[in-house]
Amino acid sequence: TATRWEPETLAAALAHERMHIQRGDPLVLWLARLAVVIHWMNPLAWRGLGLWRRSQEGACDDAVLQSGADAQTYAEALLTVARHIGGRSSTPRLGVGMAGKGDLSNRLKAILDGEGRTRPLSRRVAVWIGVFGGAATLTVGSLGSPMEDPSKGDEGMVLAPIEGPSS
């Protein structure tokens, strides 16, 4: 459990999770997952969520490093946490998101190369955001018109009077 971790590992894990809270990631993640629930059949929704999660983890890693954490120590802490949640330890998987299996090797490379991952929005991510936003807009737009009352059939339609040719 986390109570057995070295002080450096515990400090790194807490700093990382604190960054998620400061950035408002839990609320945004909840909203993103809600969007995926609504658009469960759309692979772009799932892809967008995955890209956002990787970006979120990278941003928190960068923030921890920019706050003065040593890159080598932080990378070792990340590996320690990953070992604990990947093995037969009693650490609950849902309780430690810092070192999920998803993109661990890329995260470690980014941490150790010293360049970090925080950068302006890439074209690729911007395109995915645009596609996902467009899909959401089209879906909401296709839900129906407020001018129609489906319970009344054709009688519920609001029609403008048709004027014939003037004589």
Q: Is the pLDDT of residue 103 over 80?
A: no
pLDDT of residue 17: 92
H-type alpha helices, the chain:
7-23, 25-38, 43-66, 71-86, 104-112, 123-141
Integer Cα distance of 62 and 46 in angstroms: 25
What average pLDDT does range 85-91 have in this prediction?
57
pLDDT band at 146 (very low <50, low <70, confident <90, very high): low
* Number of CB atoms found within 10 A of residue 13's CB: 23
Q: For the chain, how many residues are written? A: 167
DSSP 117: S
Percent of the chain with pLDDT over 90: 10
CB-facing half-sphere around the CA of 146: CA atoms within 13 A = 1
What average pLDDT does range 119-144 have in this prediction?
68
The answer to whether the Cα torsion of 29, 119, 65, 84 is positive or negative is positive
pLDDT of residue 95: 44
Evaluate whether 156 touches 150 at the Cβ level (below 8 Å): yes
pTM attached to this predicted model: 0.61
